[in-house]
Amino acid sequence: MNIALLFEEDLISTDTAVLTDRRLRHLQQVRDIKLGDQISVGQVNGLLGEATITELAPDSAKLSISWSKQPPAPLPVTLIIALPRPKMVKRIIQTVTTMGVKQLYFINSYKVEKSFWQSPWLTEAKLLENVVLGLEQAMDTQLPTIHLRKRFKPFVEDELPEIAKDSLRLVAHPSNNQNCPIQVEQQTTLAIGPEGGFIPYEVEKLESCGFTPVSLGDRILRTETAVPVLLSKLF
């Protein structure tokens, strides 16, 4: 937690907040904060700042905040990932949020097991929890939006053309395709398949929507590794 992310309900005025819950426990247990200490904070979808602890009780801390700067720029990417197995979902959300992704679609694919869609990590509360952890790690304040799309074909046919409009469209697909381009510096829509990859039908559907298959070389990476690798090659 490199910042404490503050929600509207934490603020009692524009520059005063009361901190409770997980964020306070972290500051007490990991950082051992004292009255008068300074901590870094951010307001959801707002500025970053420095806060002084002006009151401290076991279950709450009052902060006096000096808002100072904009959060880091987002990555110009919309990320589309075939829903990974539940234990990976949490990590991938945190990773992509930390790296600055603001639009994330989890979609279905032939090789996505149906049970994955029942994952407790996909509830609204759990999605938000992991997004917040990612923002706090990155010292970012801008909440990403996570979309869940349980049907591949309607998503690609009806929604994707508008989502990907005017962007560079890439689908990561291990094979003899061209290598992933480097530092493209343009709005990009990036699709990443499940473990085992998209099936040929799915790649064809994406190609007919303007996507170009790109490869990361001979090594087959897990989704959780492929995501940061692709994002750091592209941007």
Q: Where do contacts with a copy of itself occur on this chain (CB under 8 A)? A: 2, 72, 95, 98-100, 137-140, 182-183, 217-222, 225, 228-229, 231-233
Smallest distance from a copy of itself to CB 177, Å: 16
Q: What angle do CA 46, 233, 45 make, to 5 degrees?
A: 5
* Cβ distance to a copy of itself smaller for residue 150 or 222: 222
Nearer to a copy of itself, 95 or 108 (CB): 95
Tell me the C-alpha distance between 130 and 121, whole Å: 9
Nearer Cβ to a copy of itself, position 164 or 192? 192
Nearest to 21, CA basis, from 106, 133, 162, 114 = 133
Q: Could you tell me the smallest distance in angstroms from the CB atom of residue 203 to a copy of itself? A: 19
**Residue 209 CB, nearest distance to a copy of itself (Å)?**
26
In the bound state with a copy of itself, the residue whose beta carbon lies nearer, of 1 and 209, is: 1
Tell me the DSSP string of 130-184.
Answer: HHHHHHHHHT-----EEEEE--HHHIIIIIHHHHTTTSEEEEE--SSSEEPPS--
